[in-house]
Chains A and B, each alone.
Chain A
Amino acid sequence: MAEAAPVVLEGVGKTYQGADRPSLAGVSLAIAPGAFFSILGPSGCGKTTLLRIIAGFEMPTEGRVLIDGRDVTGLPPRARDIAMVFQDYALYPHMTAADNITFGLRNRRVPRREIAVRLEATAATLGITHLLGKRPDRLSGGERQRVALGRAIVRRPRVFLLDEPLSNLDLKLRETMRIELGRLHRELGVTMVFVTHDQAEAMTLSTTLAVLDGGRLQQAGPPDTVYARPANRFVARFIGSPSMNLLAMVAGPDGLAAAGAPAAAVLAAPAGLVPGPVEVGIRPHHLRPAGPGTRGLAVRVELVEHLGRSNFLVCTPVDAPGLLAAGRALVAEVAADVAPEPGSALVLDAAPRDMALFDPASGQAIAAVGAAGEGA
């Protein structure tokens, strides 16, 4: 049970030559054995850089990389027990699928009989036995993807690295391959590190989700924790669609009032919240229209977006100019039969247990009420 973490990063930083700021800074994390570890973040946040540092294609300018407890920071990729699936597959065009898959084994002088056995098993796992004699240019995108996976699987490495492996596939195929990846991960029980742009992919596949921004690790934890208890304002806004509403409020004895408004409290505050300014995060589906005469956020409905199963109400607060950051609207997700006229007034309410709380100055989560924020 006390198996060492296959991948550990200790204070990893990377400043590319000639760059004026680091692409990665102070990233420390441990990837558990058998984890499906997803790295999510906006474009340019350093996801690929992080993966390439684990692979050994880039040297970190700070910190250490450990694979299976062994410091591999200075070792070349081939000396690390890893395999990588590239975004555009990088299959050797002049080799058949079988040769593509076995090239690494042949270079490592694995006995021929064993190569044949492993090739057969890998091809069976991926359902590509009938494709083995074909060259990549005769394969479809999904088939190439499978061959690329095969090339990684056949080596039985300690860790699989995947850099947006599904982004070149069309929507339908993405879904199929997503399920396939999940199945492979369960069947092989291997550790996978997976870079993606796609939240749905990350949420459904991962056992651990890491969010990166500006080269810094924002949060790492189980996907539902990251979703429900974002560690900071960035994660709160980044994860989930539409984004979490962030409200500038003041906690008082009788509840939460909009910041900058003299009015009385409009929302019930979570128990134990220290009085003073606080940023309150509420997911759109946690905002409910309140009955007439009850207290809540008074808003005017600007726009109703019908999504079939539910409606998005895009609203502006009434008499609370400081509540939202400039240019932002309040979004509520309500049942499909709730469709107020644009321009009409509405009162929205939310339960204290559905609120994520942030320190307005630092943007970090405030560990209050029941669930503790999952730190990085």
Chain B
Amino acid sequence: MLYPVVALLALLVAVPVIHVVVASLYRRNLFQVRPPRWVGLENYYYLVTSAKFEVAILRSMSFTVTALAVELALGIALAVWVHRMRRLPGMGLLRTVLAMPILVAPVVAAVMWRFMFQPDFGILNHFITGLGLPPVGWLSSPSIALLAIVLIDVWQWTPLVFLTVLAGLHAIPPQYFEAAELDAAGPWKQTLHVALPQVRRVIVIVALLRLIDLLRAFEIIVATTQGGPGDASYTFPVMIWETAFVAFEIGDAAAASVVLLVLVSVIVTLLVRAIARQGVVGRGQG
């Protein structure tokens, strides 16, 4: 009973992957009527020796690290704060409001933010010039564009971190806080020694989810800067998108996809191993 299900699942996962791997071994351009031509690992060779490969890796890294750090810090801080204030009226409503960005489709979020980023009549510059500061080229300035996109992602996905961690905090039996209260631990110590250690696993899991998602994120970038200005926001997934849907080089795009898949798998596997060794994931707690 179980094996057919496992086999089916394996097939569902494997077929697209195999398909992409096979495609990466051919040269094929959608604009040309020529049939796909077997080139072996040539696509991979061109990819890793190209200048854009290095740029894409660098941009992906800074985008992912920055967004992940901000989302975790902000989400955890918000969750701790809301949990500490849980007895106050209106906290439930606040939680619902804070959770809303998740419900917005990424493309819609990007379009919304593009309006707000608009240099002349966007609301952000309206405030900034109101303070007497020069207007900011949110998406047009190479030094700011990637941060602006990070901001969109932070707006959209910090709530996920917030909600997950908050749920974890709510699941802590109240006796732990009462014991800490008797042990004369103040709010800060209760957070540090009771709350956070007990949601460590939740934080690790949501961080992993965000990491994977950030490494693959491209909708909000395509919908705002499409990798620009210049190559300021040219992340790895944007490169794949561009190769496939702007240049129509299916073979090259497939090779890049395989590389991304391998990179994500390696990073995630290494992290999960490192974490498992710390005893955070997998073992029952006391």
Contact B193 A92 (CB under 8 A): yes
Count the B residues whose beta carbon is within 8 Å of the partner chain — how many?
Answer: 22
B282 at the interface (CB under 8 A from A): no
A135 at the interface (CB under 8 A from B): yes
Provide the bound-state CA to CA distance between A77 and B183, in Å: 9
Provide the bound-state CA to CA distance between A94 and B180, in Å: 14
CB-CB < 8 A to A137: which residues of B?
A: 283-286
A86 at the interface (CB under 8 A from B): yes
Contact A88 B189 (CB under 8 A): no
A95 at the interface (CB under 8 A from B): yes
Contact B178 A77 (CB under 8 A): yes
CB-CB < 8 A to A94: which residues of B?
A: 193, 197-198, 200
Contact A90 B175 (CB under 8 A): yes
Provide the bound-state CA to CA distance between A138 and B173, in Å: 20
How far apart are A60's CB and chain B's nearest CB, in angstroms? 17
CB-CB < 8 A to B181: which residues of A?
A: 57, 76-78
Chain A CB within 10 Å — which of B184, B189, B197 has the most?
B184
User: Which residue of B176, B184, B200 contacts A92 across the interface (Cβ within 8 Å)?
Assistant: B176
Contact B286 A139 (CB under 8 A): yes
CB-CB < 8 A to B176: which residues of A?
A: 90, 92
Contact A90 B286 (CB under 8 A): no
Classify chain A: how many residues form its interface, as a range. Answer: 20 to 34
A91 at the interface (CB under 8 A from B): yes
Contact B182 A93 (CB under 8 A): no
CB-CB < 8 A to A226: which residues of B?
A: none
A309 at the interface (CB under 8 A from B): no
CB-CB < 8 A to A144: which residues of B?
A: 286
CB-CB < 8 A to B184: which residues of A?
A: 78, 104, 107-108
Known contacts A92-B193, A135-B286; is-contact A103 B175 (Cβ 8 Å):
no
CB-CB < 8 A to B85: which residues of A?
A: none
CB-CB < 8 A to A76: which residues of B?
A: 181
Contact A103 B173 (CB under 8 A): no
B197 nearest in chain A by CB position: A94
Contact A136 B185 (CB under 8 A): no
B179 at the interface (CB under 8 A from A): yes
How far apart are A292's CB and chain B's nearest CB, in angstroms? 61
B194 at the interface (CB under 8 A from A): yes
Provide the bound-state CA to CA distance between A225 and B277, in Å: 59
A82 at the interface (CB under 8 A from B): yes
On A, residues with C-beta under 8 Å from B are: 55, 57, 76-78, 82-84, 86-88, 90-95, 103-104, 107-108, 135-139, 144, 151
On B, residues with C-beta under 8 Å from A are: 173, 175-176, 178-186, 189, 193-194, 197-198, 200, 283-286
Given contacts A55-B182, A151-B183, 13 further A-B contacts (CB under 8 A): A57-B181, A78-B183, A86-B179, A92-B179, A92-B180, A92-B194, A94-B193, A94-B198, A103-B183, A107-B183, A107-B186, A136-B286, A144-B286
8 cross-chain pairs, A with B, having the tightest CB-CB distances, nearest first: A137-B286, A104-B183, A136-B286, A90-B175, A94-B197, A107-B184, A90-B179, A86-B175
25 pairs, CB–CB < 8 Å, chain A vs chain B: A55-B182, A57-B181, A78-B182, A84-B182, A86-B175, A90-B176, A90-B178, A90-B179, A91-B179, A91-B286, A92-B180, A93-B197, A94-B193, A94-B198, A94-B200, A95-B193, A103-B180, A103-B185, A107-B183, A107-B185, A107-B189, A108-B184, A137-B283, A138-B286, A151-B183
